[in-house]
Amino acid sequence: MGFSVRDIAICVDDGNIVEQRRTELGLIEEMKSFEFVFILHLMIRVSQMTNELSNALHQKDQNIVNAMGLIVTVKDRLQHLRDNGWNAFLKEVETFCGKKSILVSRMEDTMPIRGRSRREGKD
């Protein structure tokens, strides 16, 4: 069950306290899911890897050679995470979930794809 920013804005604007509370509880439950925690940790990791490049690209006196070098560095960091760091990253997320009593999804299980029928998600 996902909520869009529009759904949240409508709920807050209409002043319906009961519905707003229900939405808040739904959002809290979403934040307690393994999927949410996993995506948030991945976003943090990627942001850390790309921070130097992002800062360099925001400078007006940007040296294009330096920027190209940083792009290569970021690409190498992402590839390293993919090739060598994935298990450690997954363990980090699982440890976080364990500390917060969040149920960890089994990677071997078949999961339906959101927005599609269950039959399509298993293919």
Instruction: Judge whether 16 and 71 are in contact, CB under 8 Å.
Output: no
Domain residues for the domain of 92 are 34-109
The verdict on 44 and 88 lying in the same domain is yes
Q: What is the pLDDT of residue 61?
A: 74
Q: For 61-85, how does the pLDDT look when each residue is reduced to its tens digit (9 = 90+)?
A: 767 888 899 999 999 999 999 999 9
Which residue reads 């800062």 in tokens? 55
The verdict on 62 and 75 lying in the same domain is yes
Mean pLDDT of 103-118: 73
Tell me if 123 is assigned to some domain.
no
Tell me if 122 is assigned to some domain.
no
Q: What is the pLDDT of residue 109?
A: 77
b/e burial code for range 3-20 (CB count within 10 A of at least 16 → b): eeeeeeeebeeeeeeeeb
